[in-house]
Amino acid sequence: MRSEVRIGCGAGFWGDSAEGPKQLVESGEIDYLVLDYLAEITMSLLARARAKDPNAGYATDFPSVVAALAPKLKEQGIRVVTNAGGVNPQACKSAIEEKLKEKGIALKVSIVTGDDLLPRAAVREKMAAEVAHGSCTDVPPARK
């Protein structure tokens, strides 16, 4: 068993070259491929895209990057860690799984969720208005 973990960082922003991840994976010398797609301006662009289309809100080129690298990722057991899911990680996951299915490659795709506050926005706005007018009688708990 090795006592080291080798991490390769192959992207620094959405729109970065796909050559970096490819070179790192082809080197065969990494355990994890990390790709950073998000910056503050990117988040606002993704939020606007999701507001127009509930299936948008992620780095749309990422599923193609994963699909292109999938054979080597699987062969070498490389895990990918990214924030390319943006404001819609579930849609990003679905797009990746679709691309992998087209290629006939089975890879486990996982996401982290829990920071989307939009579903609670209407309740919070109503509560804020009631507080402002002194009529708030029922304050729901902050957590489910």
Q: What is the pLDDT of residue 14?
A: 85
Quick check: 47 and 87 in contact, CB under 8 A?
Answer: yes
Q: What is the pLDDT of residue 2?
A: 72
For 6-24, b/e burial (b = at least 16 CB within 10 A) is eebebbeebebebebbeeb
Helix or strand holding residue 41 (H, E)? helix 40-52
Q: What is the pLDDT of residue 126?
A: 65
What residue segments make up the domains of the chain, in order of their start? 7-113, 116-144
Sign of the C-alpha dihedral computed for residues 99, 48, 37 and 118 taken in this order: negative
The whole-model pTM stands at 0.79
